[in-house]
Amino acid sequence: MKCLLKVTPSRPRKKAQESPVKLPIFAKKVDRVAVYDFIVVGSGIAGLSFALRASRHGRVLVLTKQLSEAGSTHLAQGGIASVMDPADSMEGHIRDTLAAGAGLCRADRVKILVEQGPEAIRDLVSWGVRFTRANARIRAKGIPFDLAREGGHSNFRVVHAEDLTGREIQRALIEAVRLAPNITLRENALAIDLITAKHLKPGQRESGTKSVYGVYALDVSRNRVETHLGAATLLCTGGVGQAYAHTTNDSVSTGDGIAMAYRAGAAVEDMEFMQFHPTTFYNPGHPTYLISEALRGHGGVLRNHRGEAFMDKVHPLKSLAPRDITARAIDAEMKRTGRAHMFLDMTRCGSRADLRRHFPNIFRHCLEQGVDMSRQWIPVVPAAHFMCGGVKVDGNSAADLKNLYAVGETACTGVHGANRLASNSLLEGVVFSGRALDHVLATAPSRPDRNRFREWDSFRFKPAPETIIYSHALEAIRSTMWHYVGIVRSDFRLARAAEFLHVISRHIHADYWSFSMEPNLIELRNLTLCAELIVRSAQRRKESRGLHYNVDHPHMLKALRHTVLRASVTAKRTGRF
């Protein structure tokens, strides 16, 4: 298949009409360097949808820690929002998204997101996703899929696959990617850093705009660092939920893409806006289990231990209020009553058979924990869920470093503002990965010349004497972020968190430059940096807006601004961020 991207030859052409130099998909083992047209870091809905589209135009490398049963896409329950009902409207979806975003959404990008929604659904279906079909009566109205309603939505517009939508999407995309001839999948691969001008060999110079040329990645199974060069690099590594003690995120969500981009010199934006999902199953000592917002869309009511529907006094949408408001209200009610959790009441939302049919997996999980949701209230508590900020990108998902793109939770596209509307995240991944590819093809970047870049030198490092200390550091970070940078914040708590994280960061920095590559150390380095970026961003916002609530600045300012951070020249030179 002919590649549509320009190729920078590694040696002079003999004749003007000679075809470009063909570079292999796999490099020789002796130098561990390979060159591609597209490098994708991450294998969720954003990364795999990009890879499928890009494979028609060139060679694609997908680097992932784990391909199946990992990541946020796999765990998504509710669905993907899109206007599919003739009685619904694009304007309504746009209005709901802007309202949830508390003034910080970029309206032009929200319009793109919503208007390209139906096409995104069609693409997913063409790749083999099996969404739950509507019954005959609904199909007669021109609605092909069963539509749910979630918090903040004014209409039923959430397309889903029972209550395991993400798992079905991931299944279909993985199958499609495995069949695509132009895609190389590398599992057990952990990206370390982006390749930039500082990795050029002596005597080589970067011409023009600061660029990204690929990524260094640890092949965990072979315990070696490899050099992957590419004309365009897409970061879609998910969020940073593992920075918090209680999170709905998978263990792989350590902020790798955000941290790598920041270290390379890209700007990050609005990192203070960490969304806490209002309802996870309260079960201390066990993994966090999400109770989908679709249950409240089905009629579920949040209650305290007295049976009071406390959300009725908080917001006009009551238990279907946007997530920032609902999570904060639950937190306040827990503190007011001294209780460890609240309840979600589904006992008046249909028969037992009806609830089992609509929410088979959630129903089963609750039963396994001793709760029959048709007769008993579900104990719920908030947990860290989604990073609305991330790598600052434009409407084409392009970062401010040439040939670097970010999509999904790794990116700050501006569609979520200060608080994400439910089920817009999967939609964002499909829509903006397509826009990223269109931009790459329009700009036609050249493949890097492999002879200009240094390979990773790992021979000067020795193994760490102990690695258990990384687990201790992780526990300290997660506890600090949960207690000091959680749903409700204060200037004092943010300052204390910054002090704690600075100490941990110094130790991680020293270990990184002293010892050989260890997966836990790589992830901890990224997670620590992201935690610091969240705190710095939160300290800069002297107001309460959306997901960021500070008791010392409880009011929302009239002026709208985004929080943008960029690594200093000194930090990039020394590696201290």
Report helix, strand and coil shares of the chain as percent, to nearest 5: 35, 20, 45
Given the DSSP bridges, would you call strands 274-281 and 378-387 parallel, antiparallel or unpaired?
A: antiparallel
Max CA distance (Å), the chain: 84
CB atoms within 10 A of CB 460: 6
Sheet containing 342-345, strands listed edge to edge, beginning at the edge strand earlier in sequence? 274-281, 378-387, 342-345, 301-303
Q: Is 106 among the catalytic positions?
A: no
268, 265, 264, 254: which is closest to 522 by C-alpha?
254
* Overall residue count recorded for the chain in this entry: 577
Residue 83 backbone zone (phi > 0: left; psi -120 to 50: alpha; other: beta): beta
Tell how strand 33-41 and strand 224-235 pair up.
parallel
Give the dihedral sign, CA 87/147/239/548. Answer: positive
Sort 336 into a burial class: Cβ within 10 Å, 0-12 / 13-18 / 19+: exposed
d(CA 137, CA 239): 40
3-state class (DSSP) for residue 200 = strand
Alpha-carbon distance of 326 to 148, in angstroms, equals 19
For residue 406, which phi and psi values (nearest 5 degrees)?
A: -140, 140
Distance of alpha carbon 60 from alpha carbon 49, whole angstroms: 12
How far is the C-alpha of 535 from the C-alpha of 93, rounded, in Å?
Answer: 32
3-state SS class at 143: coil
Query: In 3D, which of 253, 216, 212, 219 has the Cα closest to residue 233?
Result: 212
- Are 243 and 478 in contact by the 8 Å Cβ rule? The answer is yes
| CB-based burial label for 161 (10 Å; 0-12, 13-18, 19+) | buried
From the list 323, 450, 489, 493, the catalytic residue is 323
Q: Exposure of 504 by Cβ count < 10 A (0-12 exposed, 13-18 middle, 19+ buried)?
A: buried
| Token pair of 161 as six digits | 């696959």
The upper half-sphere exposure of residue 304, i.e. CA atoms within 13 Å in the direction of its Cβ, equals 18
Catalytic site positions: 323
